[in-house]
Amino acid sequence: MTRHFLRDDSITPAEQAEILDLAAELKRDRWAQQPLAGPQTVAVIFDKSSTRTRVSFAVGIADLGGSPLIITTASSQLGGKETPADTARVLERQVSAIVWRTYAQKGLEEMAEGTRVPVVNALSDDFHPCQLLADILTIREHKGATQGLTMTFYGDGRSNMAHSYVLSGVMAGMHVRVASPEGYQPRADIVEDARRIGEETGGSVTILTDVEAAADGSDVMVTDTWVSMGKEEEKAQRLRDLGGYKVTTELMARAKDDAIFIHCLPADRGYEVDSEVIDGPQSVIWDEAENRLHAQKALLVWLLRQQGE
């Protein structure tokens, strides 16, 4: 049966754990799985800029024996010229999976409805679920397990990253705090979905405006840019509104002594995080960036396996 990965909860908590176990195996033995041998091609489409996602999918697909086909929207017929569903029906005759970084979540849903090959969200305005697989893998590596940990996200709580932390964090049994000003708090329907998942996993979601209280006792401190791709016109307003939500060494000192700091990158140093924190001893951002490779390879292996079942 074709399974897609459009948002964090497109998979169950048990499936998330299964994919992360596989990611750890692939990290130990990088060429152990070759489901794309042939080579089969995977289309990786970008409507927005990327370094990590582009490289990790391209390298990962090659590691799995396949061939990555990187498409930028500006040089294709997508992006208003052809519908996602029509594009998918052309691609599915030639590729084994479609990975897409785009704006509206709806486009991904239309793409998935239109095709029998797996569609993967490589970042939309609403979610960045591939990043979260890497982040949860990183937290597992540094903390041993995720169950019962407290993770605090600072900044734009209505962003793709915040929404994915809320969903994936709760799926992994974590207590997720989001510290954001009024007007930047996570979408209520996503918080509700996460709370429903938390009834099964023991995880929870707390929305706060108090920056310092949000850090107290945290195991994982996390932030992201205040100006996501597509929001550039709001930059001045966002810097004013979110200015108090910076992760500083003082804030890190309120978290647990062994707390780690993560950031999906790219970072606007001096804005959402001070260089002393991102370059400091508690930061695990380079492991996190590397783990994009291992996590996404595991995701692709798992999605391709579902195709045969």
Contact flag: residue 174 with ligand NVA (CB under 6 A): no
Binding segment for ligand NVA (CB under 6 A), chosen from 2-10, 31-39, 68-76, 159-167, is: 159-167
Instruction: Examine the residue annotation and report whether 128 is marked as an active-site residue of this protein.
Output: yes
Contact flag: residue 51 with ligand CP (CB under 6 A): yes
Contact flag: residue 50 with ligand CP (CB under 6 A): yes
Asked if residue 119 lies in contact with residue 91, where contact means CB atoms within 8 angstroms, the answer is no
Q: Annotated catalytic residue: which of 9, 156, 224, 274? A: 224
C-alpha distance from residue 212 to each of 37, 132, 268 (Å) = 51, 24, 21
Assigned token pair, 223: 């932030």
Q: Given the complex with ligand NVA, which of 35 and 60 has the nearer CB atom?
A: 60
| Binds ligand NVA by CB under 6 A, chosen from 264, 289, 295, 304 | 264
Binding at 51: pick from ligand CP, ligand NVA, none (beta carbon under 5-8 Å per type): ligand CP
Rounded-to-integer distance, Cα 185 and Cα 143, Å: 28
Instruction: Examine the residue annotation and report whether 294 is marked as an active-site residue of this protein.
Output: no
194 Cβ contact partners less than 8 Å away, ≥ 6 residues apart: 166, 167, 169, 170, 176, 203, 205
Asked if residue 170 lies in contact with residue 144, where contact means CB atoms within 8 angstroms, the answer is no
Contact flag: residue 102 with ligand CP (CB under 6 A): no
**Burial class of 258 by CB neighbour count within 10 A (0 to 12, 13 to 18, 19+):** exposed
Contact flag: residue 121 with ligand NVA (CB under 6 A): no
Closest CA to 116 of 92, 138, 140: 92
C-alpha distance from residue 221 to each of 172, 214, 243, 252 (Å) = 16, 10, 17, 7
3-state secondary structure of 306: helix
Tell me how far, at minimum, the Cβ of 45 lies from ligand NVA, in Å.
16
Rounded-to-integer distance, Cα 274 and Cα 194, Å: 30
Tell me how far, at minimum, the Cβ of 267 lies from ligand NVA, in Å.
10
| Binds ligand CP by CB under 6 A, chosen from 7, 22, 44, 53 | 53
Instruction: Examine the residue annotation and report whether 224 is marked as an active-site residue of this protein.
Output: yes
Contact flag: residue 160 with ligand NVA (CB under 6 A): yes
Q: Annotated catalytic residue: which of 7, 52, 101, 177? A: 101
Instruction: Examine the residue annotation and report whether 238 is marked as an active-site residue of this protein.
Output: no
3-state secondary structure of 115: coil
Binding at 288: pick from ligand NVA, ligand CP, none (beta carbon under 5-8 Å per type): none
Rounded-to-integer distance, Cα 167 and Cα 13, Å: 10
Rule CB under 6 A: which residues touch ligand CP?
50-53, 123, 131, 264-266
Q: Which residues participate in catalysis according to the annotation?
A: 101, 128, 131, 224, 264, 292
Rule CB under 6 A: which residues touch ligand NVA?
123, 159-161, 224-225, 228-229, 264
